[in-house]
Structure 1
Amino acid sequence: MTYQQKSVFASLPQMERGVSKVIGGDPKGNNFLYTNGKSVIIRNIDNPTIAEIYTEHAHQVTVAKYSPSGFYIASGDASGKIRIWDTTQKEHLLKYEYQPISGTVKDIAWTEDSKRMAVAGDGREKFAAVFLWDTGSSVGDLAAHSKVINSVDIRQKRPYRIITGSDDSSASFFEGPPFKFKFTSSDHCKFVNCVRFSPDGSRFVTAGADGQIFVYDGVTGDKVCQLGGEKAHNGGIYAVSWSPDSTQLISASGDKTVKLWDVGAGTAVTTFDMGTDVNDQQLGCLWQKDHLLSISLSGYINYLDKNNCNRPIRTIKGHSKSIQCLTVHKCDGRSVIYSGSHDGHINILCMWSRFVFLNNFFTLLGCRYRGQ
């Protein structure tokens, strides 16, 4: 008897309190990326039940990003290794593999021609590197920080610029190629968690654990404004993502909110209150086409509604820890899959309703479990 794969029930992102989660956007607008364990999960943004899993890393994968061409994905792991692999075939054949840093990769950025990439994170000798994607040859020096670099981004048009954000509470600006240090910004008083250029390259922002977001000129690096006055959020900010037209952005915070900002006015347009539990802290976000996504500490993926800040359009639930047990129950000719994970969650997957995740509480053998 031969078997064929019918469906993939993808895991949620692997989350850690106080640590940003990078969501990789698709330049073609079809998919989004995140990581869990040694896997990269590719999910269709319109129909998240469609998923592919890449499992070729030997160590925990920490970040994955599409190339601007959309033909390749670069993924980095806890050992500092970068794998660049094909997206056009289901086998996801490896194209190149490099070791640019010696510690955990925290972020990856490509130039708009998909020929150069910057990698940032932890390491013994350096915290970041920028190199040619097809040879690994260095195209600059990103030495400017004294502690781990949390975030890196590249301006998506010439003249190229690179911005980095670090645990040393500073953001550094580089010009190139070859990329050379230009200056360091010390506007933040705590960790800089996220730096991002606008799609049109006219601006970039830095967001930090101090709850502040600063806006700078994308070419010169001059400070333009600060969003929200003294503080943009009441907690640390872990991620920002620009709108496609570069006029707005969203920010995700440990204060359990996501805010939508008018960058020109420097004010918040909408505040999405995601809950009151610690697991409702927001650690990642993505703005892709008309989709606004955020990721909670629980691992839940929230599709936000710009016209209704009171509740998400949908919330994708599932397992974020290892699955310990699995059973199938048939009722009236219909199959229901029950799966239990290491963190005590039980998922119910209804095979007749496009794998709808039921969300309720029930008691099993005297213990209270959460059905999702």
Structure 2
Amino acid sequence: MPYELKHVFASLPQMERGVAKVIGGDPKGNNFLYTNGKCVIIRNIENPAIADIYTEHAHTVTVAKYAPSGYYIASGDASGRIRIWDTTQKEHLLKYEYTPLSGKVKDIAWTEDSKRIAAVGDGREKFGAVFLWDSGSSVGELSGHAKLINSVDIKQTRPYRLALASDDTCGSFFEGPPFKFKFTMREHSQFVNCVRFSPDGNRFVTAGADGQMFLYDGKDGNLISTLGGEKAHKGGIYAISWSPDSSQLISASGDKTVKLWDVGAETAVTTFNLGSDVTDQQLGCLWQNEHLLTISLSGYINYLDKNNPDRTIRTVKGHSKSIQCVTVHKKDGRPHIYSGSHDGHINILFTHSGQ
């Protein structure tokens, strides 16, 4: 009798203190993506118990992003390799593979026509590359930074613009394609962790380890304002994500809060308090349709409630490191799965009777 896969119990994202975790959003609105070890985890956003796992990378995967078409995912790993693979087939067939960087890939961005990819991170001779997805041919040069680049985003409306955020405390602005360096943004005083364009392309925001966020014009890159005045958060800001209508955004911070901003008014309208422990630091976020997701340093995935900022709608828990032991115990005729992992967690999974 052949064995048949019934369920995938997905791991949590693997987290590192002080390092942002990128959550990839599905343009079709169904799923979200993150990485753990050599795997890319795809989870249903309505029911995160439904999961799929991509396991073809030879090195630790650091970031994964859907193409705007929704048909492909580009994932980057610690060796600088980018794999572009199919989302529609169960086998996730590899379409193309490139090695644009010589070190860890930190972030990936696609143009809205799903034809060009920008990849940034660490490297010896360069910290970023932008290329055609089907040939690997360069479509510009991502220069102007002296240290590793943490974040990249591309304006999703024409004319295309590209922005970078780097450990050298600067951001940079490019026009293209082919993408050409225009100028450096020097407003931050510490590492710049994240840059994101609004969906309508009119504006973009940078967020940094200095707890500040700056709002810029999406077309010419000119500074518009400072969000939240001198300090948007008490701690470093690791991630930002815009609302689908481009009027609001959320920011995730090491101060263990997430803030919801009215960009037009330049003020925070809601503050979500996610706890008081070190592991409650917020290192990633995603705004997809009506869902607001954040990732804590513990790896827990939080579904935020705009109407009740002090309680989450749902917190997805699990293991973030290798599972060392598993046992099954029946109680009241119902099987319970107990699992223990390298991070010191013991989880109990309830299964339906007979499964």
TM-score by length of 2: 0.99
Report how many aligned residue pairs link the two structures.
Answer: 354
Query: Does 1:167 pair with 2:154?
Result: no
Match of 1:127 in 2: 127
Q: CA deviation at 1:115?
A: 0.3
1:364 — aligned with what? none
**Paired AA for residue 292 in structure 1:** L
* Distance across 1 between alignment mates of 2:331 and 2:159: 63
In structure 1, distance between residues paired with 2:151 and 2:332: 52
Equivalence for 1:186: 186
Q: Which residue of 1 aligns with 2:235?
A: 235
TM superposition shift of 1:198: 0.2
Which residue of structure 1 lines up, in the alignment, with residue 86 of structure 2? 86
**Alpha-carbon distance in 2 for matches of 1:107, 1:61:** 11
* Structure 1 letter corresponding to 2:199: P
Does 1:77 pair with 2:85? no
User: Aligned letter for 2:170?
Assistant: S
Residue identity matched to 2:264: G
Q: Determine the structure 2 residue equivalent to 1:270.
A: 270
The separation in 2 between residues aligned to 1:66 and 1:193, in whole angstroms, is: 21
1:333: Cα distance to partner? 1.7
Distance 2:345 2:158 in 1: 49
- Tell me the residue number matched to 2:211: 211
Helix, strand or coil at the partner of 1:226: strand
C-alpha separation between the residues in 1 aligned to 2:336 and 2:178?
Answer: 57
Structure 2 residues without counterparts, runs of 5 or longer: none
User: Which letter maps to 1:6?
Assistant: K
| Aligned ranges 1:1-372 → 2 under 5 Å | 1-352=1-352
Distance 2:278 2:331 in 1: 37
How far 1:344 moved relative to its partner?
1.0
- Tell me the CA shift for residue 331 of structure 1: 1.7
Write the deviation string for residues 33-61 of structure 1: whole angstroms up to 9, x where unpaired: 00000000000000000000000000000
Describe the superposition over 1:14-43 as per-residue Cα deviations: whole angstroms up to 9, x where unpaired.
000000000000000000000000000000
SS at match of 1:131: strand
Give CA deviations for 1:139-190 in whole Å, capped at 9, x if unaligned: 0011110000000000001100000000000000000011100000000000
Deviation at 1:332, TM superposition (A): 2.2
Give 1:249's aligned amino acid. Answer: L
Partner Cα distance (1:204, 1:145) in 2: 19
Q: Distance in 2 between matches of 1:2 and 1:69?
A: 36
Query: Using the alignment, how far apart are the partners of 1:2 and 1:185 within structure 2?
Result: 59
Identity of aligned residues (%): 79
Q: Cα deviations across residues 310-336 of structure 1 (Å, max 9, x unaligned)?
A: 110000000001000000011222100
Moved over 3 A (4+): none
TM superposition shift of 1:284: 0.1
Residue type matched to 1:107 in 2? Answer: D
The Cα shift of 1:352 comes to 2.6
TM-score normalised over the length of structure 1: 0.94
Alpha-carbon shift at residue 343 of structure 1 (Å): 1.3
Distance 1:26 1:116 in 2: 18
The letter for the 2-side match of 1:312 is T
Residues in 2 aligned to 1:309 and 1:333: alpha-carbon distance in whole angstroms = 39
AA of the residue aligned to 1:301:
I
C-alpha separation in 2, matches of 1:184 and 1:159: 19
RMSD over aligned Cα atoms = 0.9
What does the per-residue CA deviation read over 1:50-76, in whole Å, with 9 as the maximum and x for residues that have no partner? 000000000000000000000000000
Q: Quick one: distance in 1 between partners of 2:30 and 2:8?
A: 17
SS of 1:352's equivalent? coil
AA aligned to 1:224 is I
- For residues 320 and 203 of structure 2, the distance between their equivalents in structure 1, rounded to whole angstroms, comes to 35
After superposition, the C-alpha distances for 1:88-121 in whole angstroms (9 at most, x for unaligned) are 0010000000000000000000000000010000
Equivalents in 2 of 1:218, 1:47: separation in Å? Answer: 35
**SS state at 1:101 partner:** coil
Unaligned residue ranges in structure 1 (runs of 5+)? 356-372
1:55 maps to a residue whose letter is: T
> Which one-letter code corresponds to 1:231 in the other structure?
K
User: Amino acid of the residue matched to residue 156 of structure 1?
Assistant: Q
Report deviation, 1:2: 1.1
Deviation at 1:301, TM superposition (A): 0.1
